[in-house]
Structure 1
Amino acid sequence: MRVTVSVRAALAAVLAAGALSACGADEDRLQYATDYSHHEPLGVVGFPTSDSLQVTQKLVWRLADGRAGALESLAADPDDKGAQAEIEKTAQNWIQAYRKGAGGKVTAEFYDEGSVRQLVVVYFHDTAQIKAFLVLLTGRTGEVGWRVAMREPDPKEVSATPDWVPGTPGGLGSKTPL
């Protein structure tokens, strides 16, 4: 009898945990679908992974919506207390600089292969702005996932475009010249 109760308790715990994670996954999918339906589709050049594409798409949406807290949640190192102030300032700077452009037509070019990190260059067509950033596979407290390197607290740094970046997507065949 005692074994049966223990087995039942363990089974109930496993089922409850599964139901909770399924709810979280369903919520994430619903949020993604809602965001997708409320924004201009992202043009893509290069070879993103599904995860580097998804985090880039979310970044553009958060910029367009002006949601600093949601943008900060995409940062590669949000658990680093020393980095938190830089991340917050970077999110504010990026929104101020790119919000208008992120609300219109945007193309993201994914450079090189993306097994653990990928350089992304985003072209905001309506404002003729270009932003380069790195997405990377990183560990956070209790989870591993794709995040955005967000350490640009200086507004001048935010709007700087590397000199090698072409003026239009695909100009280098999605290969960095470095």
Structure 2
Amino acid sequence: MGGQLNFDFDGATSTVAHGKVVLAQKEGKSIPLGWGVDKEGRPTTDPHHVAFMVPFGGAKGSALSLFIDIMCSCLAGGLNSRKSHSFFKDFDHPQDIGYVMIVINPDKFLPEEEFLQKVDAELKDFSDCPPAVGHNKVYLPGEIEGMKETESTKKGVELSDTTIRELKKLCMDYGVTENL
């Protein structure tokens, strides 16, 4: 934030992003227990039976998910997560979801430079923590993704065979020349 270390967080409130379940469906793979539940709320390893994603963090994660749902549906006017149209399955209706952004001006609390120095110190302190056994580093949120982006910029993006087949079909359907 202050220029030395980055803190980039973009995450779903579910254990994993729903896209991982969709990819498992397409690739004919099972998913780990704890990712999703079926219509009756039973844990499942079959990605085709996932009706709801499991929130991260047990009861606290569930409360955080509900808070976000309240902010985005009740306050912002979108549908709640149980009623919005599926981004992955329903292409005939808009999702009708709401967004809430909260902006905080640090200058209202302390001078900007002091804030940035404190953030850098906090991130460095966290990053310098001893890693868990079997790991070589403690990563900040977004750090691994940033390294992958840098590598992909140099080497390209690896796509699964399933994704390549889907892209080729889309190109054929829309008359676009493909070069995959």
Q: Which has the larger radius of gyration?
A: 2
Q: Classify the TM-score, shorter chain.
A: under 0.3
Give the alignment's TM-score, normalised by structure 2: 0.22
